[in-house]
């Protein structure tokens, strides 16, 4: 039997729900656990520990899942490097703790900051595959799918490797980029452009996929 596990940051709306400040809703996390069945829930948080515990206790009354908190003292909730390192540490620990070959992982995109959502997307499509969900009072809980490779465009510079091999690997590129190596460049935009152009060598491109609405909302928040 699969072990369905939810990883999510605690958001401000979730805390408000636990305090009874949302008369018409329960917040994205409680909505997700009410709609879907999870055996374990890992709450990532940079809020005060008292607030975290209050929310966890409130959530436990709404689910049979084992709820645990992973606290992180972030410089800020939009610090990509810190958010990335926190998310990776929890995702890696979950696999190590559960050791379940049928482990099913879900990342919740709705709670937290756009930076937190972006990091979940990156992990789901690269080193730590998982299902992605979002929730809202209007549309309920749904799975989010991304039909294109987003590593070159959305991997924050703060978490890029200095040798840029990560970009090539997540794009499925061979180490040698041939004629692209002759282009003298150092800036991140040019690196991303080359990473996106390299896979196109030798094959035609019939369609350019449009941006997924979740990424569009996340991208707009960076402006």
Residue 139 is part of which domain span? 4-144
Q: What was the pLDDT predicted at 193?
A: 55
pLDDT at 95: 86
Answer yes or no: pTM beyond 0.75: no
What DSSP state is assigned to residue 202? T
| 34 in the same domain as 111 | yes
CATH of the domain at 16: 3.40.50.10770
Asked whether residue 20 falls in the same domain as residue 120, the answer is: yes
Same-domain status, 108 and 201: no
Q: Which of 116, 144, 172 is the last residue of a domain?
A: 144
Single out the residue in 114, 144, 174 at which a domain terminates: 144
Beta-carbon neighbour count of residue 19 at 10 Å?
Answer: 12
pLDDT of residue 79: 93
Q: How far apart are CA 22 and CA 15, in angstroms?
A: 10
Q: Which of 3-12, 67-76, 148-157, 159-168 has the lowest mean pLDDT?
A: 159-168
Average pLDDT over residues 22-28: 89
What's the rounded mean pLDDT across residues 26-39?
95
Domain count for the chain, please give it: 2
Whether residue 91 is found in the same domain as residue 138: yes
CA-based nearest residue to 43, from 9, 77, 92, 74:
9
Question: When comparing pLDDT for 194 and 95, which is higher?
Answer: 95
Q: Do 138 and 204 fall into the same domain? A: no
**pLDDT classification of 223: cutoffs 50, 70, 90:** very low
DSSP labels, 73-121: --S-TT-HHHHHHHHHHHHHHHHHHH--TT-EEEEE-SSS-HHHHHHHH
What would the pLDDT profile of 105-153 be if each residue is shown by its tens digit? 999 999 999 999 999 999 998 889 999 999 988 889 999 987 655 544 5
Greater confidence, 188 or 59?
59
Per-residue model confidence (pLDDT) at position 176: 46
Quick one: which of 86, 100, 113 has its CA closest to 7? 86
Q: Give the end of a domain, one of 111, 126, 144.
A: 144
Confidence (pLDDT) at 101: 79
Q: What is the pLDDT of residue 115?
A: 93
CA 148, CA 125: separation in Å to the nearest integer? 10
**For 24-36, what is the mean pLDDT?**
94
Same domain, yes or no: 132 and 174 = no
Q: Whole-number mean pLDDT of the chain? A: 77
């Amino acid at each position: 039997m699969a072990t369905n596990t939810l990883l999510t940051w605690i958001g401000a709306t979730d805390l408000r729900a636990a305090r009874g400040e949302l008369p018409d809703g329960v917040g994205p996390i409680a909505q997700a656990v009410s709609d879907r069945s999870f055996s374990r829930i890992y709450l990532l948080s940079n809020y005060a520990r008292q607030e975290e515990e209050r929310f966890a206790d409130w959530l436990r009354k709404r689910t049979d899942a084992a709820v645990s908190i992973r606290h992180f003292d972030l410089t800020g909730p939009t610090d990509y490097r810190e958010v990335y390192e926190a998310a990776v540490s929890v995702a890696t620990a979950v696999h190590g703790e559960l050791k379940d070959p049928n482990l099913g992982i879900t990342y919740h995109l709705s709670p937290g900051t756009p930076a937190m959502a972006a990091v979940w997307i990156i992990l789901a499509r690269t080193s730590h595959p998982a299902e992605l969900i979002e929730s809202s009072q209007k549309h309920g809980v749904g799975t989010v799918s991304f039909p294109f490779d987003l590593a070159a465009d959305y991997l924050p510079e703060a978490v890029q490797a200095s040798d840029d091999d990560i970009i090539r690997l997540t794009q499925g590129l061979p180490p040698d980029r041939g004629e692209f190596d002759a282009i003298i460049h150092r800036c991140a935009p040019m690196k991303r452009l080359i990473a996106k152009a390299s896979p196109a060598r030798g094959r035609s491109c019939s369609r350019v996929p449009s941006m997924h609405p979740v990424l569009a909302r996340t991208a707009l928040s960076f402006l």
